[in-house]
Amino acid sequence: MVNNSISPLDGRYFKKTRALTPYFSEQALMKYRVVMEGEYLIFLSLSGKTKLKKFKNTEIKKIRSFYKLSPKDYERIKKLEETINHDVKAVEYFLKEKYSKTSLKNRVGWIHFALTSEDTNNIAYALMLRDALEHVMIPGVKEIIGSLNQLAKKYKNLPMLARTHGQSASPTTFGKEMFVFSTRLEKRLEGLKNIKIGTKLNGATGNYNAHVAAYKNTDWVKFSKKFINSFNKQKPGVLKLEPNLTTTQIECHDSYIAIFDTLRRINTILLDFNQDMWRYISDGWVEQMPKKREVGSSTMPHKINPIDFENSEGNLGLANALFEFFARKLPISRLQRDLSDSTVERSFGTAFGYTYLAHTSLLKGLSKIRIDKEKIGEDLQNHPEVITEAIQTILRREGMMMPYEKLKELSRGKKVTLAEIHEFIDTLKVSGKIKEELKKITPENYIGLASKLAGLK
């Protein structure tokens, strides 16, 4: 059946991005709100700071049983929202209906006690972001790093022509070039894992007004800190929640932007990688292994296009455009707040979806390649001029005047052979030992420390 979804993430690519639906779908947002409200009610009862009776273990278990929402539950929440035109209040009413049918019926008035909708929402989104990063995004980036490290290790000694400005340059190794990308990604990934997600629980204008009106002797700042940190105790590890004690009605979203900017930087590194791989494939240094039933062109039978790397590049661009917009939009809110952030937050999953699709496409591309060592070697041999850098440097060491200029006259803008370079060496006024040293330099062995750098930590 043809899917009629407007977004390709929910249509064409749904099977490839469904790993994110438990974190960013409309149903996921409902669930995380239910979790937040439930945990808040439990924490409120156990704190002993209000008249809310302390829950028994069986009652806590009952509250948490409502976290597993059924399709019927989702429909009920949406029906309530359509009636009252408020999504968070609909969750509150839904929970009151649920609790009213249990032994908790006399305590339904404590649901959402002294809270504003942003208290519920900002913690729900913080949990969504944390869980999606921990379970989907971070493992995906780690898998890419692992694949690149395998290539780095396998081909650390494979000499390869380098290019600066697209022109032949001092040789490197294929493995070292792969390792450049993996180390860049590792640094950004480490930074991502250490970001603390700011969250707030302080009422309608950030001052605990309602809390203090009801219980003026309670230390509500301490209470909110303990409640927010309780989510870290439930799930120790990376990307911890951090209490933001000084806010307006809304949490300022600055930590969200730190996450999005880091993901954007990771994506930019991968954009760079995709474009390099595209060039390696174009040059024939990297081959794509054909699949028997696939076609590469509607008219040219021979084609195997680098579609996975191209698909990845396009989706990385879409994701980064959204991340950049989030960074411009979300830290700004008129006075205490305006609602424009709410509709933007609902697109977090879209940015994550394009990112995840790009990452999986890249991995698919890597799974289908073969490194053509013969072609790489042949192209390197066809550019002996790259060793002129080494020759002029050694001649500088020996005190020769203007060696750069001599090599420039020999090689710049010309097709020069290794034999011609050796003939040039024979004309130099240096010792036979130095000439022998110069003639031992070849494009294949002029790789500096590339092999060592390909595994350097």
Q: Does the pLDDT value for residue 422 go beyond 60?
A: yes
Architecture of domain 118-197+252-373: Up-down Bundle (1.20)
For 153-177, write each residue's pLDDT tens digit: 999 999 999 999 999 999 999 999 9
Among 387, 385, 382, 383, which Cα is nearest to 438's?
387
Q: Does the pLDDT value for residue 1 go beyond 60?
A: no
For 334-350, write each residue's pLDDT tens digit: 999 999 999 999 999 99
Q: How far apart are CA 49 and CA 91, in angstroms?
A: 25
Amino acid at 365: G
For 225-265, write each residue's pLDDT tens digit: 999 999 998 877 789 999 999 999 999 999 999 999 999 99
- Percent of all residues in the chain with a pLDDT value above 90, rounded to a whole number: 92
Please give the average per-residue pLDDT across 49-61, as a whole number.
96
Give me the CATH code for the 383-447 domain, please.
Answer: 1.10.40.30
- Which CATH number is 19-113's, of 3.40.50.9100, 1.10.3720.10, 1.10.1040.10, 1.10.275.10? 1.10.275.10
The pTM (predicted TM-score) of the whole model is: 0.95
Lookup: tokens for 25:
């779908």
Higher pLDDT, 285 or 294: 285
Among 318, 321, 314, which Cα is nearest to 329's?
321
**Contact (CB, 8 A) for 303 and 297:** yes
What are the catalytic residues?
165, 297
Q: Does the pLDDT value for residue 295 go beyond 90?
A: no
SS3 5: coil
Q: Does the pLDDT value for residue 299 go beyond 90?
A: no
pLDDT at site 190: 96
For 307-317, write each residue's pLDDT tens digit: 999 999 999 99
For 423-453, write each residue's pLDDT tens digit: 999 999 999 999 999 999 999 999 999 999 9
| Same fold across 19-113 and 118-197+252-373 | no
**Contact (CB, 8 A) for 121 and 33:** yes
**For 416-441, b where at least 16 C-beta lie within 10 A, e where not — what string?**
beeeebeebbeebeeeeebeebbeeb
Amino acid at 14: F
Q: How far apart are CA 397 and CA 309, in angstroms?
A: 45
pLDDT at site 44: 97
Ramachandran angles phi, psi of 159, nearest 5° = -65, 145
What are the structural domain ranges in the chain? 19-113, 118-197+252-373, 383-447
